[in-house]
Chain A
Amino acid sequence: MSQTLFKDETPEIDQQIRQELITRFLAFMDDESVLREDEDLFPYESDGLAVYRQKPPLVVLPETIEQVQQILKICHELKVPVVARGAGTGLSGGALPLKNGIVLGMAKFNKILDINTQSRTAVVQPGVRNLAISEAVSDFNLYYAPDPSSQIVCTIGGNVAENSGGVHCLKYGMTVHNVLQVTAVTIEGELITLGGTADTQGYDLLGLIHGSEGMLAVTVEIVVKLLPKPNSTKLLMAAFNSVDVAGDTVAEIIANGIIPAGLEMMDKPAIVAAEAFAKCGYPTDVEALFLCELDGTDEEVQEQLQQVESLVRKNNATVVHIARDEEERMQLWKGRKSAFPAVGRLSPDYYCIDGTIPRRHLSRVLQQMNIWSEEYGLRIANVFHAGDGNLHPLILFDANIDGELERTEELGAKILELCVEVGGTITGEHGVGMEKINQMCVQFDNDEITQFHAIKNAFDPDTLLNPGKAIPTLNRCAEYGALHVHHGELPHPDIERF
């Protein structure tokens, strides 16, 4: 386990309280739904960020909303922390268990309750897999737009908690733009409905619960918006001898009034790795490559495809290729979508960063990363949601080499702080969780962090829902004491930094 970032200083759960929880939970749940033996608990010790581990003292697996209400009421009464969990694919340690709290596993809430093809909505339970929604409505020519790369396994409840994105965000938005209503249970056990299928009044609590990382309420039912499948979809691949030119070309496409459905860029190390892994037809003798997907009506797609093609040719793309058919389109996407495992083959371990930057600073950020990469002796491969500025640098390392994980974390932290410095954010779609909690102190000042705690206080005054995640304590920020770049104000603005 990494010691540099994650130190769980909470005490172990009181054994008497643990026993009382078991007894009271068993009064309304069957034996298999209250996990308490080590062998049953170990699978829950981490989420998708497996470098952080903590065996939970207890895991409960309710299957009705009433059970969730009862569990939360009991935990509220006994002041026991609760970590809600979907499929455990989160990449920031948001579902990392606590020594003194229970894990509330939502896996049994796995049913699609209703599909309305006329209103184009679906009512789903939080444990339904993201992709399962699109599969269930595919025959009706509909789909659910947000597509995080873990969509085969990740759950919609987790997507709400993290406000998950994917490769189609620029045009179709993130989870918050595609969910109409969330039914949730508060720590007091009260059932609340946020948002609705009509335009609702009052504060946008639906917006607030998205990305709240399980810290405000526990989601038990979700109404999602379904979209008609586009009539036409085309994919253009363009390769360049310079990352800068590729980035400039992306800006030109958007300046020309085109909003691609997907616009994904990779640098050379990522291209080479993806091609070796997926054999998808990427040129490997180039510095940068992007995939530009256009969708809409036949006429619209045809017009925009011509515009994009002439732009990339004008900018001297070395390779321009339009997928001939659906099979080739999927093949070209396969390379991008397998970039993570592909990079994983190059190195025993990799660490994925999730910063977002204003796109105009891409080349500055990449150059600085190259300098640090050499300084730290750690290779970096870059995949980039170029349309929306979300960077995923993958730092390659070997956890078995003494100190390498710590150096990787340090490099990752520097990259995130650079993202903030150029006007971006430490996390575009993976969440803060446990992983980026120190960098929150860089992005926000003490008053802002205090206001975040105030929001939590409105929902959860005893701080029982996923405590310690996402929002750092002021003490923690004081300890971190990093080079504080805030609101673009640098400590020494006169020093040239790039």
Chain B
Amino acid sequence: MNHSTNHHDISEALQAQVSRAAASKEKLNIKGGNSKAFLGLINPDAAVLDVSQHTGTISHEPTELVITARAGTRLEDIKQTLKAHYQTLAFEPPAYGHDATIGGTIACALAGPAKPYFGGARDYILGCTVLTGHGQILKFGGEVMKNVAGYDVSRLMTGAMGTLGVLLDVSLKVLPATSHTTTLISNATAEEAIEQLQALGGMGLPVTASAWHNNKMYTRLAGSAGTVAAAAEKLPGSESNEPEFWLQLREHTLPFFTRPESRPESLWRISVPALTPPLSIAGEWLYDWAGMQRWLVSSADANDVRNACSAVGGNATLFRADKNMMQSTDIFQPLPVPLMKLHRRLKQEFDPEGVFNYQRLFPEF
């Protein structure tokens, strides 16, 4: 078992702060590395609950494919710990900054280009310790792959944006890293790319990422040298000379994402079912996840974007935009009424005083 040396357990202090806040009906913004502060609304009047000092890998058992770490542990440190054993977080979480923490990674549940092939954050969470709005520290799930005792609270916390409780530590399934990757590039229109990228996933080939931008289709293959070479021969396209493409796509450092602050367009994250044809919203598009996650840079009206997405069974998140746009628009697509009712009730059961991350996820709470 490997223990990180950088161990700080501040759960008692966090618990005390939450209990005080609940008693005085004060609101708290949960903060890890602050790398995803742009996502969702931050209540300017709330105090900060700083989890970034709650750090340390509690255990990493390479032969069990499990790592458990305190929520403030930096994602970068987790990746280094895993890398030493040729292991990885298979859902390729974006960091969006040097200080991203594992707690924030799970709370936001963002996933990188590997998502359609390996799943998202919710597919790797095995267990967690949560500090609820009642000021209680509770443990759910565990460190084993199969566990159906009690409701799956760990998955409920994944992607809840901290609105149900503070993650104190998380246990994640990890996978072996692949030794070789290669990326193939070929020319394709958006329509062709959507069809071809979806078909690729059904060929039993070691495809681990697929994207489209500027009439170019990108396909990543990964595995052993022999596996990758054999698969590359079966597919069209030439080998890419953009080795950083997937990293830049994941971290939003491609030129597509890095626009001058002065430009008024918003960045939308659009999620649609497989094989959804191109949407007719004006702007620049980049497709990831075989076309199921689409990035749109556009100055289109928010309602038009949302309506176009709803019409095809998808949804839109206002990912990055100027302050006015963020404050005048729902960041996440509003939910159908019966689902919102359940969300509100769950919020009530975990955080009755509404302490955590007020309006970060939905304006209702």
Contact = CB atoms under 8 A, between A and B. Distances in A.
B155 A208 contact: yes
A198 B272 contact: yes
B130 to A, nearest CB: 9
Contact of A424 (B62, B139, B142): B142
Contacts of A210: 152
Nearest to A426: B149
Q: How large is the interface on B (under 10, 10 to 19, 20 to 34, 35 or more residues)?
A: 35 or more
A388 interface: yes
B204 A229 contact: yes
A202 B332 contact: yes
Nearest to B340: A202
Contacts of B224: 299-300, 303
A429 interface: yes
Interface string A244-256: 0000000110110
Nearest to B140: A448
Given A201-B315, A298-B230, A428-B144, A359 B63 contact: yes
B219 to A, nearest CB: 15
B338 interface: yes
Interface of B is mostly: loop
A242 to B, nearest CB: 18
Interface of A is mostly: loop
A391 to B, nearest CB: 10
Given A203-B156, A254-B63, A458-B342, A297 B204 contact: yes
Nearest to A254: B63
B203 A440 contact: no
Most buried by B among A204, A228, A251: A204
B315 A205 contact: no
A203 B164 contact: yes
A191 interface: yes
B199 A424 contact: no
B150 A205 contact: no
Contacts of B115: 199
Given A173-B119, A201-B332, A447-B136, A300 B152 contact: no
B146 A257 contact: no
A436 to B, nearest CB: 8
A431 interface: yes
B280 to A, nearest CB: 18
A267 to B, nearest CB: 19
A119 interface: yes
B308 interface: no
A431 B136 CA distance: 26
Interface string B196-231: 001101111110000000000000000110110011
Contacts of B53: none
A432 interface: yes
A64 interface: no
Interface stretch (B97-105, B237-245, B250-258, B345-353): B345-353
Given A176-B152, A296-B227, A358-B143, 6 more contacts: A119-B198, A203-B159, A212-B151, A251-B64, A454-B350, A457-B345
